[in-house]
Amino acid sequence: MNVQLDLFLDSQAVVLANQAIAALSARDARLAATNLAKLHCDAPDYPNLNALDTLTRALAEWRRPAANPAAIADTVAWLEREIEPAAKLALGASAQGFAGAFFCDLAEVARGLAYEAMRPMAHRAWLCLRSGEWADAEEAARAIPRANQTPDALHWLCIARYRQCGLAAARSSLFALAWHEPQRLASILAELGDELLDRDWRAFERACEWETVEEAQQAAWFPAWYLLEHPAVAKELGNVEFPDSPPANAARLLLHIVELERHGDWRTLTLQRERLRGLNPDLFSVYMRRRAVHYLW
């Protein structure tokens, strides 16, 4: 009888917890609080009870902050410190949607606010990404002055375009980010989680020793290497802005070299190959090895 009673109490606790979770997912703080009050009485040791309390209280007390970057950034810090961990612990698959609704509210608060490099998490583009609003994130990022040269804007554009349309749509932003802030490239590749792109990144790292490139700048050469490996993507880069830097100049030069190879202009091709050697001997060696294999077959 005691075993049956324990099973009954356990099942009742699960029902109450599930009802509280459903209410939280529906953003009904009152109903969640009612179910949690019963759960406290019936099963005060129920797992994740404190996390459910935290989420219920946050939902009941939620007020949008003032429309200024400092207030938004403080609210983001609170969400990341308290709400997201509790949601992951207690809500499972519903956690992202629960937290995302708060970020969606913040994105509306941030509408029209200027980009501040010191508080990127207070910009509408970043907040829209956190709430899964990809098209709105792209629009907000594009509105940043000099977006095609601003690392944060390029990062957000890349993620938003990838989530909407895949790698082809995001590639130009990814390349621009590599040129303007190469130290960020590895982290954005992890964020994208594209299997083929990850494989290319590992192949790039193994392509040679990159002895003539500073380690901090190595990722800036990834676009040039990528165009060497995948020349067909050149047609996707018609509107890309190439900064005046050796890695970007090498990428642009490789596009020209591929065209020269296609048309058989060998005299001009020889001159351009020498330019490539001058920009980066490591990349030039990779290029010549690829051509040797190509002509061998």
DSSP string, the chain: -HHHHHHHHHHHHHHHHHHHHHHHHTT-HHHHHHHHHHHHHH-TT-TTHHHHHHHHHHHHH-----SSHHHHHHHHHHIIIIIHHHHHHHTGGGHHHHHHHHHHHHHHHTTTPPP-TT-GGGSHHHHHHHTT-HHHHHHHHHTSTTGGG-HHHHHHHHHHHHHHH-HHHHHHHHHHHHHH-GGGHHHHHHHHT-HHHHHHHHHHHHS---TTS-GGGGGGGHHHHHHHH-GGGGGG-TT----SSHHHHHHHHHHHHHHHHHHT-HHHHHHHHHHHHHH-HHHHHHHHHHHHHHHH-
Task: State the pLDDT at residue 251.
Answer: 95
98 versus 266: which is more confidently predicted?
A: 98
Q: What's the CA gap between 22 and 31, in Å, rounded?
A: 9
Structural domain that includes position 182:
165-297
Q: How far apart are the first and last CA of the chain?
A: 80
Q: Report if residue 63 sits inside a domain.
A: no
pLDDT exceeds 80 at position 291: no
pLDDT exceeds 60 at position 121: yes
Task: State the pLDDT at residue 261.
Answer: 86
Task: Answer for the pair 58, 29: CB distance below 8 angstroms, yes or no.
Answer: no
Report, as an integer, the average pLDDT of 90-103. Answer: 94
Task: State the pLDDT at residue 292.
Answer: 61
Q: Report if residue 109 sits inside a domain.
A: no
Q: What's the CA gap between 154 and 268, in Å, rounded?
A: 35
Q: Report if residue 113 sits inside a domain.
A: no
pLDDT exceeds 90 at position 176: yes
Q: What's the CA gap between 29 and 31, in Å, rounded?
A: 6
**Measuring CA to CA, how many Å separate 174 from each of 138, 169, 181, 187?**
14, 10, 10, 12
pLDDT exceeds 60 at position 247: yes
**Measuring CA to CA, how many Å separate 208 from each of 5, 248, 284?**
68, 19, 11
Q: Report if residue 47 sits inside a domain.
A: no
pLDDT exceeds 90 at position 265: no
Report, as an integer, the average pLDDT of 129-152. Answer: 97
pLDDT in tens, 60-75: 999 999 999 999 999 9
Number of structural domains found in the chain: 1
pLDDT exceeds 50 at position 297: no
Q: Report if residue 120 sits inside a domain.
A: no
pLDDT exceeds 90 at position 296: no
pLDDT exceeds 70 at position 1: no
Which range, 40-54, 148-162, 255-269, is most confident?
Answer: 148-162
Q: Report if residue 117 sits inside a domain.
A: no
Q: Report if residue 201 sits inside a domain.
A: yes
pLDDT exceeds 70 at position 9: no
Q: Please state, rounded to an integer, the average pLDDT across all residues of the chain.
A: 91
Res. 236 pLDDT band, cuts 50 70 90? confident
CA 122 distance to own-chain centroid: 16
277 versus 238: which is more confidently predicted?
A: 277
At what angle are helices 134-142 and 151-165 packed, to 10 degrees?
A: 150
Res. 10 pLDDT band, cuts 50 70 90? low
Q: Report if residue 222 sits inside a domain.
A: yes
Find all residues with CB under 8 Å of 43, minimum gap 6, and list them: 9, 10, 12, 13, 16, 49
